[in-house]
Chains A and B, each alone.
Chain A
């Protein structure tokens, strides 16, 4: 059993955290040393988000926090109180089987083993929503936080480029996954 807190009210034990996960409100008991990644995979059994390096170097654990892409392995779950988290399981909109980015990854064969893919897709969805990438070089630079050891990069860039072009032409309306 963890020792009691010494001074002010700062308990060693689990605390209550309320957050929105893939559109659903959750109230959870979280120990201070649990990362958001471990909360998702171990406690909530949402295993789409992957643990690669566990040190913020590979991007496999990328999720959206209040719409911004971040490495869930470096986020403490206890600090997510009040936040809206979107994982790969929650990207597809109402009535959609797949988010357009997921469909584009399939049609461009943008993976081999698939381990990095959920992180790549979450990161790519955020990249499109950020609205800053205009070229393939932009996409490559702005996807530098997601490593693919199979080397599927050309097809990943193709998939993102397609979704970006569709969004710019207005043929498909992409909404930030909330």
Chain B
């Protein structure tokens, strides 16, 4: 690990001014990703700004009609087991518990989860080129070990995926990210927070220099998805592995017809993958297997694989169909019994 200075911030204003003072500083909270990256010399901050003592970011606050505003420092465990989340937003709870381990979930925060970096092997290995780590050096993943890489939305510069489970559920639930920077506060719809790599893969998201994530709101409208949802995660072992493909489904049903559908994929792109036109195929139609297949095809249309991950295209299609069946039947995937029904 490189040598760095340490600053403990006591409120959001202090965080913003500390970022202004030292642009090469990094914010630290749970540390589960940043400390790991520092040990690999992928991150070499000149200063760490410890935000864990900022009281205002620790709480889950009740909004109108069941919405919740989650402070950036709420741990993944606290969020997953919060009774309001398990009741109103069970999809989020399920996705959180599909990720990492109890030890990591106790330390990891909501703000850190959305800002975590890719797990691309080449990004982590400072001895190899990587356009995300060092723009312009190239992307060895395209012709190298690419089992865990993207099949949708990738670019010539980068085929990395976003590793989060939580964010896939947040995308389907249409959460809103709250940030504060030198010019004040702003809200970012979840779909606009993460970005596709294009020719600037070094930027994972649309956070501007000097801004800090303060919280995330789960909207009241998404409480309507609490009966028909699932988070289906397919991976190389049954627990504690990143997704090869994951599917978050949130349906609002009226009898046999689907009024509203939200579907997001994890493990396949640089951001949680949604397509409004695939979701629109559902609206007002009876939920049946033919429709599920058409939705799956629309969601992954144009997918492109590489030497070691082309299998993910078929896997994604089947996983989407299976997840839609689970959500429609009101039988979400269990995180304990890993049999897929």
Q: Are A141's CB and B239's CB within 8 A? A: yes
Across-interface contacts of B77 in A (CB, < 8 A): 68
Q: Are B36's CB and A56's CB within 8 A? A: yes
Q: Are B3's CB and A33's CB within 8 A? A: yes
Give the tally of cross-chain contacts (CB within 8 A): 101
- Known interface pairs A127-B102, A142-B102, A144-B239; A35-B35 also in contact (CB < 8 Å): yes
Q: List 24 A-B contacts (CB under 8 A).
A: A5-B5, A10-B22, A11-B5, A12-B3, A12-B5, A33-B2, A54-B39, A55-B39, A59-B103, A69-B102, A69-B106, A74-B31, A74-B36, A74-B104, A76-B6, A76-B28, A76-B48, A79-B28, A127-B102, A132-B81, A138-B336, A144-B101, A144-B240, A145-B101
Residues of chain A from 104 to 131 with CB closer than 8 A to chain B in the complex: 123, 126-127, 130
Across-interface contacts of B32 in A (CB, < 8 A): 56, 71, 74
Q: Are A6's CB and B48's CB within 8 A? A: no
Decide yes or no whether A137 CB sits under 8 A from chain B. yes
Q: Are B3's CB and A145's CB within 8 A? A: no
Chain B interface helix/strand/loop/mixed: mixed
Q: Are A74's CB and B239's CB within 8 A? A: no
Tell me, in angstroms, the Cα distance from A79 to B2 when the chains sit together: 17
Give, as a whole number of angstroms, the nearest-CB distance from B119 to chain A.
Answer: 11
Give, as a whole number of angstroms, the nearest-CB distance from B333 to chain A.
Answer: 13
Nearest A residue to B48 by beta-carbon distance? A32
Residues of chain B from 28 to 47 with CB closer than 8 A to chain A in the complex: 28, 31-32, 35-36, 39, 46-47
Q: Write the A70-104 contact mask toward B (1 if CB under 8 angstroms, else 0).
A: 11001110110000000000000000000000000
Decide yes or no whether A15 CB sits under 8 A from chain B. yes
Decide yes or no whether B277 CB sits under 8 A from chain A. no
Tell me, in angstroms, the Cα distance from A144 to B47 when the chains sit together: 33
Across-interface contacts of A123 in B (CB, < 8 A): 102-103
- Known interface pairs A7-B22, A8-B21, A56-B36; A145-B5 also in contact (CB < 8 Å): no
Tell me, in angstroms, the Cα distance from A62 to B239 when the chains sit together: 18
Q: Are B31's CB and A7's CB within 8 A? A: no
Across-interface contacts of B4 in A (CB, < 8 A): 12, 32-33
Nearest B residue to A139 by beta-carbon distance? B336
Contact partner of A74 (CB less than 8 A), chosen from B47, B81, B107, B337, is B107
Please, how many residues of chain B have a CB less than 8 angstroms from a CB on the other chain?
Answer: 35
Give, as a whole number of angstroms, the nearest-CB distance from B311 to chain A.
Answer: 25
In order of increasing CB-CB distance, the 3 nearest A-B pairs are A145-B101, A32-B6, A144-B239
Q: Are B106's CB and A70's CB within 8 A? A: yes
Across-interface contacts of A9 in B (CB, < 8 A): 7
Q: Are B102's CB and A32's CB within 8 A? A: no
Q: Are B18's CB and A71's CB within 8 A? A: no
Decide yes or no whether A44 CB sits under 8 A from chain B. no
Nearest A residue to B335 by beta-carbon distance? A141
Most buried by A among B22, B32, B336: B336
Tell me, in angstroms, the Cα distance from A127 to B105 when the chains sit together: 13
Nearest B residue to A33 by beta-carbon distance? B1
Across-interface contacts of B326 in A (CB, < 8 A): none
Residues of chain A from 135 to 178 with CB closer than 8 A to chain B in the complex: 135, 137-138, 140-142, 144-145
Decide yes or no whether B50 CB sits under 8 A from chain A. yes
Decide yes or no whether B52 CB sits under 8 A from chain A. yes
Residues of chain A from 34 to 73 with CB closer than 8 A to chain B in the complex: 35, 54-56, 59, 62, 68-71
Beyond known contacts A15-B6, A74-B107, A145-B240: 10 more, CB 8 A cutoff:
A6-B22, A7-B21, A8-B18, A10-B18, A12-B3, A32-B4, A78-B6, A123-B103, A140-B239, A141-B335
Give, as a whole number of angstroms, the nearest-CB distance from B97 to chain A.
Answer: 9
Q: Are A75's CB and B5's CB within 8 A? A: no
Q: Are A75's CB and B3's CB within 8 A? A: no
Give, as a whole number of angstroms, the nearest-CB distance from B52 to chain A.
Answer: 6
Nearest B residue to A63 by beta-carbon distance? B103
Tell me, in angstroms, the Cα distance from A56 to B22 when the chains sit together: 28
Most buried by A among B18, B32, B39, B103: B103
Give, as a whole number of angstroms, the nearest-CB distance from B238 to chain A.
Answer: 8
Nearest A residue to B34 by beta-carbon distance? A74
Q: Are B47's CB and A137's CB within 8 A? A: no
Residues of chain B from 95 to 132 with CB closer than 8 A to chain A in the complex: 100-104, 106-107
Give, as a whole number of angstroms, the nearest-CB distance from A141 to chain B.
Answer: 5
Most buried by B among A6, A9, A70, A130: A70
Nearest B residue to A79 by beta-carbon distance? B50
Nearest A residue to B4 by beta-carbon distance? A32
Give, as a whole number of angstroms, the nearest-CB distance from B17 to chain A.
Answer: 8
